[in-house]
A and B are shown apart, each in its own frame.
Chain A
Amino acid sequence: GEDVEQSLFLSVREGDSSVINCTYTDSSSTYLYWYKQEPGAGLQLLTYIFSNMDMKQDQRLTVLLNKKDKHLSLRIADTQTGDSAIYFCAVSPHGSGNTGKLIFGQGTTLQVKP
Chain B
Amino acid sequence: NAGVTQTPKFQVLKTGQSMTLQCAQDMNHEYMSWYRQDPGMGLRLIHYSVGAGITDQGEVPNGYNVSRSTTEDFPLRLLSAAPSQTSVYFCASSQASGYNEQFFGPGTRLTVL
Nearest B-chain residue to A96, judged by Cβ: B48
Query: Interface readout for B38-52 with A: 1 if CB under 8 Å, 0 if not?
Result: 001111110010100
Q: How far is the CA of A105 from the CA of B42 in the complex (A)?
A: 6
Q: Which residues of B contact A99 (CB under 8 A)?
A: 31, 48, 50, 56
Q: Which residues of B contact A4 (CB under 8 A)?
A: 42
Query: Interface readout for B73-113 with A: 1 if CB under 8 Å, 0 if not?
Result: 00000000000000000101010110111101111000000
- The distance from the CB of A77 to the nearest CB of chain B, in whole angstroms, is 23
Contact A100 B106 (CB under 8 A): no
Q: Which residues of B contact A100 (CB under 8 A)?
A: 30-31, 33, 48, 50, 94, 96, 100, 102
Select one of B42, B58, B59, B96 contacting A107, CB under 8 A.
B42
Q: Give the interface centre of A35, A43, A44 by most chain B CB atoms within 10 Å.
A: A43
Q: How far is the CA of A12 from the CA of B105 in the complex (A)?
A: 29
Determine if A103 is an interface residue (Cβ-Cβ < 8 Å): yes
Query: Interface residue tally of chain B, by bracket?
Result: 20 to 34
Nearest B-chain residue to A92, judged by Cβ: B100
Contact B50 A45 (CB under 8 A): no
| Besides A98-B96, A101-B58, A106-B42, 16 new A-B residue pairs in contact (Cβ under 8 A), listed by A number | A6-B42, A35-B102, A43-B90, A45-B102, A48-B99, A88-B43, A98-B100, A99-B31, A99-B50, A100-B96, A100-B100, A102-B102, A103-B45, A104-B35, A105-B42, A107-B42
